[in-house]
Amino acid sequence: SLTYAPSFGIPALRGKWQESIFEKNSSLSGKKISLPVVTCGITHGISLFADIWVDPDDVVILPDMMWGNYNLIFSVRKGAKISQYSIFTENGTFNLKAFEDKIKEEAGKHKKLVVMLNFPHNPSGYTVTENEGNGIVEILENQAKAGINILAVTDDSYFGLFYEKKSIKESLFARLCGKNSRLLAVKLDGCTKENFVWGLRVGFITYGCQTEGDPSPVYEALEKKTAGCVRGNISNASHLSQSIVLKSMLSEEYSGEKEEKFIILKQRAERVRNVLSDSKYKDAWEVHPFNSGYFMCIRLKTVNAESLRVHLLEKYGVGLISIDEKNLRVAFSCVEESDIKELFDIILQGVEDLSV
């Protein structure tokens, strides 16, 4: 493990991860996808994708609530334009209409659209339902049919952390694959959160496309191009990290240990929902829909999110993230179940402090 890994990543891990993608995404059954190329964490997958596929002045379609690093990668590094739609309806569902309107609007201006799809979503913790997911796929497929080149990129960082029945349980990548020759599906995922190894930096980039005849030569070309970009950026990802991940995935305890961690996170999510059902919070904030992942967001009714964030940090030592003026992100993933009520009570106290 102290020798160099190939720029592509170590072959056994690439094969094992591909196998796991098929296992986790039933709609891929019978479809062909590329072998994953190993990246130095999922951020690296996103920036590699951007290096290979995004040119200055390209448009990248994202929801209005999003991970801040998308801005650093797509706008600051690549000079692309981020175009945002409103992610939720008033009723707390995915805003398919806003998504479609945005796609149509940008398709009127660009022959090529980059569409980032991130479920479970950072920061809201929302994953679309079956219907919403299929709606997204259909909207993109229709644009591809109409001649627009679509790069549909799934950022599956929090994949697998689905806590409720009604959300989709696979990556939209699985449903986007093979839909249209103008639609390239790109899956960015990794071990960071799926395997609970944040500091190892092992991610993957995998392609799914529709070709006439055997797609293997296309996938081979895409893999080579991607590994070439890895080569010119970091040479290769940590061999030690890749070896550890592979070994753990081959271990008999792997699925049991993953399940154990999943249950802890699920219980925290359920506790959040339970705590927030208390009507005492209702004048202070609304709860955005959440059903998955690490986070949930509250929409503050009376105080500024950034002011509250600073106040909570300074007065109570509680660290949250303000998304914009109104929205505050809570990472319940790193709060013990028994501390969750206290956390929200402190946030409420903070709101009251600022309202005096």
User: Which residues of the chain form contacts with a second copy (CB under 8 A)?
Assistant: 1-5, 40-41, 43-44, 47, 51, 69, 72-73, 76-77, 196-201, 228, 231-241, 244
Residue among 198, 202, 209 nearest 230 (CA): 202
Residue among 172, 198, 187 nearest 261 (CA): 198
Q: What is the nearest approach in angstroms of a second copy to the Cβ of residue 116?
A: 15
Rounded alpha-carbon distances, angstroms, from residue 291 to 111, 202, 296: 35, 26, 9
Separation of alpha carbons 139 and 97, rounded Å: 10
Q: Where are the beta strands (DSSP E) in 71-228?
A: 81-85, 112-117, 149-155, 183-190, 203-208
Q: Which is nearer to a second copy, 9 or 208 (CB)?
A: 9
Q: What is the nearest approach in angstroms of a second copy to the Cβ of residue 235?
A: 4
Amino acid making up residue 316:
Y
What would you report as the CA-atom Rg of the chain, rounded to the nearest whole angstrom?
21
E strand or H helix at 316: helix 305-316
Q: What is the nearest approach in angstroms of a second copy to the Cβ of residue 45?
A: 10
Amino acid making up residue 337:
E
**Strand partners of residue 204:** 38, 189
Q: What is the nearest approach in angstroms of a second copy to the Cβ of residue 293?
A: 17
Q: What is the nearest approach in angstroms of a second copy to the Cβ of residue 232?
A: 4
Q: What is the DSSP letter of 167?
A: B
Cα 1 from chain centroid (whole Å): 29
Yes or no: say if 203 and 238 are a contact pair by the CB < 8 Å rule. Answer: no
Q: Which is nearer to a second copy, 77 or 315 (CB)?
A: 77
Q: Which is nearer to a second copy, 135 or 228 (CB)?
A: 228
Q: Where are the beta strands (DSSP E) in 170-313?
A: 183-190, 203-208, 285-287, 296-300
Cα torsion for 46, 66, 177, 103, to the nearest 10°? -120
Q: Which is nearer to a second copy, 6 or 160 (CB)?
A: 6
Q: Which is nearer to a second copy, 125 or 190 (CB)?
A: 190
Q: Which is nearer to a second copy, 69 or 277 (CB)?
A: 69
Q: What is the nearest approach in angstroms of a second copy to the Cβ of residue 101?
A: 29
Q: What is the nearest approach in angstroms of a second copy to the Cβ of residue 323?
A: 18
Q: Which is nearer to a second copy, 102 or 201 (CB)?
A: 201
Contacts of 276 (CB under 8 A, 6+ apart): 287, 344
Q: Which is nearer to a second copy, 44 or 175 (CB)?
A: 44
Q: Which is nearer to a second copy, 97 or 231 (CB)?
A: 231
Q: What is the nearest approach in angstroms of a second copy to the Cβ of residue 236?
A: 7
Burial class (CB within 10 angstroms; exposed 0-12, middle 13-18, buried 19+) of 42: buried
Q: What is the nearest approach in angstroms of a second copy to the Cβ of residue 210?
A: 29
